[in-house]
Amino acid sequence: MDDATAGQLLTSGASRARRTWERPYLTTVGLVAATVGFLDGVVSMLERHETSCPDGKFFAKGTKDFACYSHPHLGAGLALCTVTVMLGVVILMLGTKVTRSEW
Protein backbone atom coordinates (compact mmCIF):
# COMPACT_ATOMS: atom_id res chain seq x y z
CA MET A 1 0.00 0.00 0.00
CA ASP A 2 1.48 3.34 -0.99
CA ASP A 3 1.31 6.56 1.01
CA ALA A 4 -1.51 8.06 -1.11
CA THR A 5 -3.82 5.08 -0.46
CA ALA A 6 -3.03 5.08 3.24
CA GLY A 7 -3.80 8.81 3.41
CA GLN A 8 -7.14 8.33 1.66
CA LEU A 9 -8.12 5.55 4.07
CA LEU A 10 -7.15 7.68 7.05
CA THR A 11 -9.11 10.67 5.71
CA SER A 12 -12.22 8.59 4.95
CA GLY A 13 -12.10 7.04 8.43
CA ALA A 14 -11.85 10.46 10.07
CA SER A 15 -14.73 11.87 8.02
CA ARG A 16 -16.84 8.79 8.82
CA ALA A 17 -16.17 9.28 12.54
CA ARG A 18 -17.12 12.96 12.25
CA ARG A 19 -20.36 12.13 10.43
CA THR A 20 -21.20 9.45 13.01
CA TRP A 21 -20.90 12.06 15.74
CA GLU A 22 -23.07 14.56 13.81
CA ARG A 23 -25.99 12.19 13.18
CA PRO A 24 -27.51 12.01 16.68
CA TYR A 25 -26.70 15.67 17.25
CA LEU A 26 -28.61 16.82 14.16
CA THR A 27 -31.55 14.53 14.97
CA THR A 28 -31.69 15.99 18.48
CA VAL A 29 -31.61 19.55 17.14
CA GLY A 30 -34.47 18.74 14.76
CA LEU A 31 -36.55 17.14 17.50
CA VAL A 32 -35.97 20.11 19.81
CA ALA A 33 -37.11 22.48 17.05
CA ALA A 34 -40.23 20.36 16.46
CA THR A 35 -40.96 20.35 20.21
CA VAL A 36 -40.67 24.14 20.37
CA GLY A 37 -43.10 24.42 17.46
CA PHE A 38 -45.51 22.02 19.17
CA LEU A 39 -45.44 24.01 22.40
CA ASP A 40 -46.00 27.24 20.46
CA GLY A 41 -49.07 25.63 18.87
CA VAL A 42 -50.42 24.56 22.27
CA VAL A 43 -49.96 28.07 23.67
CA SER A 44 -51.74 29.50 20.62
CA MET A 45 -54.65 27.11 21.10
CA LEU A 46 -55.05 27.98 24.77
CA GLU A 47 -55.04 31.74 24.22
CA ARG A 48 -58.49 33.21 24.79
CA HIS A 49 -60.15 36.61 24.70
CA GLU A 50 -63.22 37.79 26.55
CA THR A 51 -66.07 38.62 24.18
CA SER A 52 -69.67 39.72 24.48
CA CYS A 53 -72.08 36.87 25.04
CA PRO A 54 -74.63 36.08 22.33
CA ASP A 55 -78.29 36.74 23.07
CA GLY A 56 -79.96 33.84 24.80
CA LYS A 57 -76.76 32.46 26.32
CA PHE A 58 -77.62 30.00 29.06
CA PHE A 59 -75.68 30.16 32.31
CA ALA A 60 -75.99 27.32 34.79
CA LYS A 61 -77.53 27.93 38.21
CA GLY A 62 -74.93 29.26 40.65
CA THR A 63 -72.71 30.80 37.97
CA LYS A 64 -70.55 33.62 39.30
CA ASP A 65 -68.58 34.42 36.15
CA PHE A 66 -70.85 35.61 33.35
CA ALA A 67 -68.08 36.17 30.80
CA CYS A 68 -67.88 34.52 27.39
CA TYR A 69 -64.58 33.68 25.74
CA SER A 70 -63.38 33.01 22.23
CA HIS A 71 -60.24 31.19 21.10
CA PRO A 72 -59.15 33.12 18.00
CA HIS A 73 -56.06 31.02 17.22
CA LEU A 74 -57.50 27.58 17.91
CA GLY A 75 -57.37 26.41 14.29
CA ALA A 76 -53.89 27.78 13.60
CA GLY A 77 -52.54 26.32 16.83
CA LEU A 78 -54.01 22.91 16.07
CA ALA A 79 -52.53 23.01 12.55
CA LEU A 80 -49.12 23.98 13.94
CA CYS A 81 -49.24 21.12 16.47
CA THR A 82 -50.18 18.64 13.75
CA VAL A 83 -47.46 19.77 11.35
CA THR A 84 -44.74 19.75 14.01
CA VAL A 85 -45.70 16.28 15.23
CA MET A 86 -45.49 14.98 11.65
CA LEU A 87 -42.17 16.82 11.18
CA GLY A 88 -40.82 15.26 14.38
CA VAL A 89 -41.80 11.79 13.17
CA VAL A 90 -40.06 12.37 9.83
CA ILE A 91 -36.93 13.67 11.56
CA LEU A 92 -36.89 10.68 13.90
CA MET A 93 -37.37 8.21 11.05
CA LEU A 94 -34.65 9.81 8.92
CA GLY A 95 -32.29 10.07 11.88
CA THR A 96 -32.77 6.39 12.66
CA LYS A 97 -32.29 5.41 9.02
CA VAL A 98 -29.15 7.49 8.62
CA THR A 99 -27.68 6.23 11.90
CA ARG A 100 -28.10 2.61 10.81
CA SER A 101 -26.72 3.09 7.29
CA GLU A 102 -23.31 3.87 5.93
CA TRP A 103 -22.75 7.25 4.31
User: What pLDDT sits at residue 39?
Assistant: 97
Q: Give the range of the structural domain holding residue 74, as residue numbers without chain letter.
A: 24-53+66-98
pTM: 0.66
**Does 7 map to a domain?**
no
Spatial CB neighbours of 73, under 8 Å, sequence gap ≥ 6: 44, 45, 47
**Does 58 map to a domain?**
no
CA-CA distance, 73 to 46, in Å (whole number)? 8
**Does 103 map to a domain?**
no
| AA letter at 96 | T
User: What pLDDT sits at residue 95?
Assistant: 81
| pLDDT per 10-residue tile (average), the chain, 103 residues | 53 55 77 95 93 78 82 94 95 77 55
Number of domains forming the structure of the chain: 1
